[in-house]
Amino acid sequence: MVILLGLVWDDRFLEISFSHPMIRDLSKQRIRKFIEGARRTLSFVEISPEQATEEVLKEVHTEEYVKSLKEVSKIPYIGFLDSGDTVHYPGIYEDVLLVVGSSLVAIARSKYIDQIYVPLGGFHHALPGKAMGFCPVNDVAIAVKRLTRSGEKVAIVDVDAHHGNGLQEILYRDPVLKLNIFAYNGNFFPGTGRPEERGEGEGANLNYNIGLPLGSGDDVFEESLSFLDLIRDFSPSYVIVIAGVDGMKDDNLASLSLTPYSFHILGKKIEKLQRELSFNVIGYGGGGYGECSHLGMLAFLAGLSKLSLTSVGVDTTKTVTDPSVSHEARRRMDKLRIRT
């Protein structure tokens, strides 16, 4: 089985960031460093996106919210869409349409390409009626809703420093397997993601919140990936992976203590399951606000492509978690397994 990797790219991605002004440059820098490294070290087919339509946004977002996005896009200065995280700027509406269009082209091309990666995507905090956490639109929710409406069976692996509250809320009652791995202490943004939140209706017992203690390192993260075995029983036709790298140890939104090793292991495990179960993979770059965030992105794709970390210019250093933190992480995971 020869697996082909596609990468959705438009040079406009180099200028798009919905992050707080204090870290917008770091966000853009991550995307620039990533594409430079990817073109240098990886083999992939480049896929050009097109803007989505307003009607596509309304498949998940309210008409009032979409209207407000169009209106703020005409304001000739930077402001905030929410309480002080997600920026708006002149032309943001067109950029939102391009972001969502990236998911649509990923779905379309997935008929011919086994693995597709969207580096500027994975905006999992946005709610139907408002922006949140640097996310003006929930591109992943739109993609998943489209896939399930067309008869596909979808599993989501949402790895990020922060719980994907918007994605969980929108899909909570849908027959979609949702594995959320994130930093959690009950207060860390966005404060959601309690382990007892298991889904409702057709989504009952399909939502797993695997909240890791703050400070967890690569060893604990690797243990948390044992929950990927649930994908076997679910047997999806698509696995959506948000491989957010803001849990890297150098990230400015400090939470976890991960290195590229974790994202490489994630990619390898997804690739192994794909070969076994023959599902399509659509991956997203998610968040990342450190000088070396791009290395986590490259590591994930190296794992998907069965390449070593060193082949993409990344060392194999691995963090070891403090024993007390490891103990708490295992206690949480064991408790969640009992609920399963």
Our CA dihedral for 50, 51, 54, 57, rounded to 10 degrees, sits at 80
Is residue 140 within 8 A of residue 243, CB to CB? The reply is: no
CA-to-CA distance for 146 and 238, rounded, in angstroms? Answer: 12
- Extract the tokens encoding 53: 């339509």
Please tell me whether residue 273 adopts helix, strand or coil conformation: helix
Q: What are φ and ψ of residue 155, in 5° steps?
A: -120, 145
Tell me which residue of 171, 164, 135 sits closest to 59, measured CA to CA: 171
- Sign of the C-alpha dihedral computed for residues 229, 232, 236 and 239 taken in this order: positive
Residues in contact with 111: Cβ distance below 8 Å, sequence separation at least 6, in sequence order:
none
Among 183, 305, 198, 203, which Cα is nearest to 244's?
Answer: 183
Exposure of 275 in the CB half-sphere (CA atoms within 13 A)? 12
> Does residue 133 contact residue 162 with C-beta atoms inside 8 Å?
yes
Cis bond before residue 190 (omega within 30° of 0): yes
Active site residue 125: yes
Q: Which of 125, 163, 264, 294 is catalytic?
A: 125
**β-pair type (87-88, 177-183):** unpaired
What positions carry a catalytic annotation?
125
